[in-house]
């Protein structure tokens, strides 16, 4: 049988998938004359649009299509301002007016909780940003094998798109990253080849506090800054200290692991210290290269404000902060409750939380490095039942076992900070059997031009 290698067709986008790409279905005849449905994924399209696409191997049932032309455009379609948008995987919705993005995110949260039997009217409109650009305070760029620096291509983690700019990162961060890219090119330093597991530079992590201005540059490299690299390292220090005095931490981070992650087996400080200071809600935090901290400080402050408003903490109460990290929520809440216990499985984060509490003169906190379910049991034995419990789990959610343990503990009020509407809805469903009612869900957009949406919700134990 002769295989059709490529075909051009017209399709209508009927919805978006969980990655923000358009979905379409086209009926076409196969070689036997039978109609078969071909399901298409078309990036950078919007619901209701009619498009002309090219499909490779259309005899398959599901294919990713190449967009040729927008025949009928969505009324909210707009010209993406970034020159790299069509290829770079950093954003997926620059072609959609911002208000349309916010409505889509609100709808996502409503659909997620409605699927679990909750009233979608409990979900308020998503809180957006006044200026949805240059909002990120941390970026991880990747070196291509030829030494150029950029981000992964959309849907292809093997190819790196070399960047001249990035419109979602802080402007000073982008300038510093481009300086490092120019430095690597001038010294003809190689990037890491993921297939051959050879090459020198893997990633560049840039983080900057928008509050203090301090910046960190972390180079992830497959070997130490030994003698043959000393001249290059010295030149990097000179360039950065001359042009970017706000860089208070310049790090060379050894990473020989095959896994494609920003991790370090040995840290070399080229200049400054191994951390920077950041601030949120008036509290000071120390951030190391591997410290998790909210990447959109403007919207993260709104999350904290909402959590306090919804949680209604009182000086006479006890509180548990589950998945507490370095204390982003713990510190602001600690000054409003009698006692606070934070639980987090990552030991380095707990050490940071303790240090951050001490740096800010907070003395009514206890921090425990333990997995969530076991940590709750241990805290409840010594701490007693809290009136208020806050949880801010990872994208995978807290899980049924943890949620049922929370339900059995019976705190009066629960504040759930979510970064994934689908796992959030499944998690809170577990609390119904313990007598909890969902009161309100407030989505917040921390990642404009992407599919991600955060939310803060309150659940109350029924009398």
Domain final position from 280, 297, 323: 280
**CATH number (domain holding residue 168):** 2.40.50.1070
Q: What is the mean pLDDT of the chain?
A: 93
- Same domain (yes/no): 294, 439: yes
The answer on 344 and 455 residing in a single domain is: yes
3's tokens: 């295989």
- What does the pLDDT look like over 376-394, one tens digit per residue? 999 999 999 999 999 999 9
Q: Are residues 66 and 122 in the same domain?
A: no
Q: What is the CATH number of the domain that holds 57?
A: 2.40.50.140
Determine the average pLDDT of the residues in 412-425. 98
State yes or no: is 419 an active-site residue: yes
CA–CA separation, 58 and 50 (whole Å): 18
Which H/E stretch holds residue 25?
A: strand 22-29
CATH code, 111: 3.40.50.150
Which pLDDT score is estimated for 375?
93
Kindly state whether residues 273 and 307 are assigned to the same domain.
Answer: no
274 and 348 together in one domain:
no
Q: What is the mean pLDDT of residues 287-307?
A: 94
Residue 92 lies in a domain: no
Q: Which of 76-80, 161-165, 262-266, 290-294 shows the lowest per-residue confidence on average (mean pLDDT)? A: 262-266
Give residue-wise pLDDT tens across range 269-282: 999 999 999 999 99
One domain, residues 288 and 389: yes
Instruction: Give Cβ neighbours of residue 445 (< 8 Å, ≥ 6 apart).
Output: 101, 102, 105, 126, 127, 128, 129, 132, 299, 453, 454
Mean pLDDT of 417-443: 98
Distance (Å, whole) CA 436 – CA 429: 9
Number of domains the chain contains: 3
- Identify the domain containing residue 449 by its residue range: 102-130+284-461
Confidence (pLDDT) at 258: 63
262, 379: one domain: no
- The predicted model gives 78-105 an average pLDDT of 95
Model confidence at 61, pLDDT cuts 50, 70, 90, reads: confident
Query: Residues 335, 414: one domain?
Result: yes
Catalytic member of 82, 88, 324, 419: 419
Q: Which residues of 255-270 are buried (b: 16+ CB within 10 A; e: fewer)?
A: beeeeeebbbeeebeb
For the chain, the farthest-separated pair of C-alpha atoms sits apart, in whole angstroms, at 77
State mean pLDDT over 57-74.
Answer: 90
- Same domain for 268 and 375, yes or no, is no
Question: Bridge partners of 66?
Answer: 54
Domain-located, residue 81 = no
Report whether pLDDT(358) > 60: yes
Contact 205, 217 (CB under 8 A): yes
Both 306 and 250 in one domain: the answer is: no
Rounded Cα gap, residues 376 and 368, in angstroms? 10
Same domain, yes or no, for 270 and 291? no
Residue 456 is assigned to a structural domain of this protein: yes
Does any domain span residue 415? yes
Q: Which of 249, 280, 311 is the last residue of a domain?
A: 280
Assess if residue 183 is contained within a domain: yes
- Within-domain flag for 381: yes
Of residues 385 and 463, more confidently modeled: 385
Q: pLDDT class for 225, splitting at 50, 70, 90?
A: confident
Point out the domain boundary residue: 255, 280, 305: 280
Q: Is the pLDDT of residue 3 over 70?
A: no
5 confidence band (pLDDT: 50, 70, 90):
confident
Q: In the predicted model, what is the mean pLDDT of residues 40-58?
A: 94
Q: What is the pLDDT averaged over residues 108-128?
A: 98
Lowest mean pLDDT among 30-34, 84-88, 239-243, 439-443: 30-34
Name the pLDDT band for 1 (thresholds 50, 70, 90): very low
Domain membership flag for residue 88: no
- pLDDT for the residue 152: 87
**307: helix, coil or strand?**
helix
Read off the pLDDT of each residue in 361-373 and give the average, rounded to a whole number.
95
| Both structure tokens of 258 | 């095959």
**Do both 269 and 370 map to the same domain?**
no
pLDDT at 260: 67
**384 part of a folded domain:** yes
Closest to 26 in 3D by CA, of 7, 40, 16: 40
In this structure, what token pair is assigned to residue 108? 């996502």
């Amino acid at each position: 049988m002769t295989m059709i290698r490529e075909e051009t067709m017209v399709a209508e986008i009927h919805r978006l998938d969980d990655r923000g790409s358009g979905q379409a279905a086209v009926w076409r005849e196969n070689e036997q004359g039978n109609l078969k449905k071909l399901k298409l994924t078309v990036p950078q399209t919007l619901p209701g649009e009619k498009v002309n696409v090219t499909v490779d191997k259309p005899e398959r049932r599901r294919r990713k299509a190449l967009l040729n032309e927008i025949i009928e455009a969505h009324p909210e379609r707009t010209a993406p301002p970034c020159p790299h948008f069509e290829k770079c995987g950093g954003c997926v919705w620059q072609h959609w007016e911002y208000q349309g993005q916010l409505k889509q995110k609100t709808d996502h949260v409503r659909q997620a909780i409605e699927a679990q039997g909750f009233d979608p009217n409990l979900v308020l409109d998503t809180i957006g940003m006044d200026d949805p650009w240059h909002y990120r305070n941390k970026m991880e760029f990747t070196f291509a094998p030829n030494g150029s620096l950029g981000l992964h291509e959309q849907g292809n983690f093997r190819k790196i798109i070399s960047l001249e700019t990035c419109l979602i990162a802080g402007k000073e961060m982008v300038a510093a990253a481009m300086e490092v890219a120019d430095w690597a090119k001038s010294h003809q330093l190689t990037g890491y080849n993921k297939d051959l597991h050879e090459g020198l530079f893997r990633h560049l992590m840039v983080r900057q506090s928008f509050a203090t201005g301090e910046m960190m540059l972390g180079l992830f490299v497959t070997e130490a800054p030994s003698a043959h690299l000393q001249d290059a390292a010295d030149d990097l220090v000179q360039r950065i200290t001359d042009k970017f005095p706000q860089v208070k931490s310049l790090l060379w981070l050894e990473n020989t692991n095959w896994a494609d992650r920003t991790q370090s087996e040995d840290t070399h400080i080229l200049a400054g210290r191994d951390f920077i200071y950041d601030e949120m809600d008036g509290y000071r935090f120390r951030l190391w290269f591997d410290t998790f901290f909210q990447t959109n400080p403007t919207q993260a402050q709104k999350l904290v404000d909402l959590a306090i408003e919804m949680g209604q903490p009182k000086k006479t109460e006890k509180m548990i902060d589950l998945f507490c990290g370095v204390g982003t929520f713990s510190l602001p809440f600690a000054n409003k409750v009698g006692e606070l216990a934070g639980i987090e499985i990552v030991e380095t984060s707990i050490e940071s939380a303790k240090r951050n509490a001490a740096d800010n003169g907070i003395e009514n906190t206890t921090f425990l490095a333990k997995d969530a379910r076991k940590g709750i049991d241990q805290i409840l034995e010594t701490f007693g039942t809290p009136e208020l419990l806050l949880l801010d789990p990872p994208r995978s959610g807290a899980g049924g076992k943890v949620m049922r343990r929370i339900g059995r503990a019976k705190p009066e009020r629960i504040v759930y900070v979510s970064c994934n509407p689908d796992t959030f809805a499944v998690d809170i469903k577990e609390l119904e059997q313990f007598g909890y009612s969902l009161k309100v869900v407030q989505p917040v957009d921390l990642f404009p031009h992407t599919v991600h949406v955060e939310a803060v919700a309150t659940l109350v134990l029924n009398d």
